[in-house]
A and B are shown apart, each in its own frame.
Chain A
Amino acid sequence: MELTEFVWLVTKALIMISVIMGCAAYAVLLERKVAAVIQGRPGPNRTKIPFLGNIPVIGPIITRLGLFQPAADGLKFLFKEDPFPKHVNALYYLLAPLIAFIPAMTTMIVLPVGVYTTEAGTLAPMVLANLDIGILFILAVSSLGVYGIILGGWSANSKYPFLGGIRASAQMISYELAMGLSLLPVFMWFGGSLNLFDIAQGQNELLFGFLPQWTIVYQPLSALIFLVALFAETNRLPFDMPESETDLVAGYNTEYGSFKFGLFFVGEYAHVIVGSGAFVLLFLGGWNIPFVTYPEGILGSMLSVSVFFFKVLALVFFFMWIRWTLPRFRYDQVMALGWQRLLPLAIANLVFYAILIALIEQF
């Protein structure tokens, strides 16, 4: 590999990481704001940075919006006292936040965020690595994140984190199956391609001239099962069994504080963002919107990226909206929903679409 190419790749990776990290930080702010408006509060609106916050008109507005809050939160995570309990298994205790954080950041390398036209005139994805097994990579690597939670719960060597870790593992196993099975009809529909870019581009056309040909229109059940499993995989409410603060204090991260807790925290939000990205690419047409063809050149690429970003943001908002709407499931309900409802439903869905696609190909 040439040096310039290598430098370019590293630069792209750094841009991607900083954007996702920034998004994760602001997702925390969004979460707090959404929680606040649903509960009739103003939310974080005091944090102010000197100079920036003192600009007339704009300064007070961004202070009210809480845009400086992520910086304050981040500083707090960095500079707070870092507790290190005596009773923990030190190696795994330190390793766990990293293991929870790294898979969430790794999955984004196969996530195309937009399109551009190459010199040859073909469309190409803006992605760090255009893997042919894209979605398999996401499924495989993002599931590794749960090891961080299990390790964190186990190495903390205390009751509640341990229970949280156990629950996380059980939940992961239960929902991973339904998640994978719900995706198979999507791949069959798009001619067996696992490449996220191909799948997103396959949803570019119109059905009967007016319906967007998004997968969610053809396969609503697959989308629903995948979405529910996504909630469970990212440990978001109503499936946040590993944390469930009402019965497990803070679950797997009870013994963690300051920066190590921050890693878990950012990892969770990065996970949510990447999961939303995958859902948008698979079911909501990626960067495609009906009746719109992007112009060539940099403008088209920018537009496609913004549309994709907007859809992901809307989905992240939906995650938060659900969180402040539904109460947490009981643990046995989570298991029953996973094994007795979603899994049979996913299998039935798979069989139905297998037959349907075979019939369509026949005639």
Chain B
Amino acid sequence: MATKLVERKPLSLAEQTYLPQIVTGLKITMKNMLKPPVTLEYPEERPEIPTGYRGVPTLVKDPNGREKCVSCQLCEFVCPPKAIRITPGEISEESENAHVEKAPREFEINMLRCIYCGYCQEVCPEEAIFLQDIYSLSGFSREEMVFKKKKLYEIGGTLPDNHFKWGKKKDAELSGNPHH
């Protein structure tokens, strides 16, 4: 190995007194003092959440107000900390969404277990579960932190959807061209 000798210059008299260095330091802090604060005053000011942020997982409805989840349970299987529990349920024959066949009867996400990895969103074939921009989460009890289906839909809302997969399926069925 080649060794490189670094030359260490002896300190000059001015440097030995430390005073010029202290003055330089004071100048730097004074410059900082004159700058505006860089902090956000949190509860009043909120940070801008970039798109693609992995916040609290939520369930969304399609623009027609139909719940998108078909309780395939893929998210439940993929969830690394096993935070999701789905109880599948049938859709009644009378409903106009009867052709979808299934919907979750209960959909629970235990937010005390969730690690915000986003696998559920990635694996969902129906684009029904999204990690949206909610980043501050708190509660008074453990029970409260297990999010039920109702709450998940409430915080999820509706997201734009270009596929209308189940709508098209119904149209095809009605025009005698069902695709199974």
Contacts and interface: CB of A to CB of B under 8 A. Distances in A.
Contacts of B33: 34, 37-38
A39 B41 CA distance: 15
Interface stretch (A129-137, A149-157, A318-326): A318-326
A41 B28 CA distance: 16
Given A321-B29, A324-B29, A325-B29, A42 B22 contact: no
A312 to B, nearest CB: 19
Residue among B28, B32, B35 having the largest count of chain A Cβ atoms under 10 Å:
B32
B25 A39 contact: no
A41 B39 contact: yes
Given A40-B39, A42-B37, A326 B32 contact: no
B41 to A, nearest CB: 7
Interface string B76-96: 000000000000000000000
A174 to B, nearest CB: 17
Residue among A40, A324, A325 having the largest count of chain B Cβ atoms under 10 Å:
A325
B29 A40 contact: no
Main secondary structure of the interface of B (DSSP, over half): helix
B38 interface: yes
B49 interface: no
Given A325-B22, A326-B22, A38 B39 contact: no
B26 interface: yes
A42 to B, nearest CB: 5
Interface in B36-53: 36-39, 41
Contacts of A41: 37-39
A41 B41 CA distance: 9
Contacts of A38: 29, 32-33
Interface in A95-136: none
A40 B35 contact: yes
Interface residues of A, number: 13
Nearest to A43: B37
Contacts of B29: 38, 321, 324-325
Contacts of B41: 42
A321 B25 CA distance: 10
Contact of A321 (B30, B36, B37, B38): B30
Contacts of A325: 22, 25-26, 28-29
Contacts of B32: 37-40
Interface in A36-63: 36-42
B39 to A, nearest CB: 5
Interface in B77-135: none
Nearest to B43: A46
A72 to B, nearest CB: 18
Contacts of A324: 29
A37 B37 contact: yes
Nearest to A37: B33
Contacts of A322: 22, 26
A332 B5 CA distance: 29
A324 B33 CA distance: 11
Contacts of A36: 37
A37 B32 CA distance: 7
Contacts of A34: 33
Given A321-B29, A325-B29, 4 more contacts: A36-B37, A38-B32, A325-B22, A326-B25
8 contacts: A40-B39, A41-B38, A41-B39, A321-B29, A321-B30, A325-B28, A325-B29, A326-B22
Interface of A: 34, 36-42, 321-322, 324-326
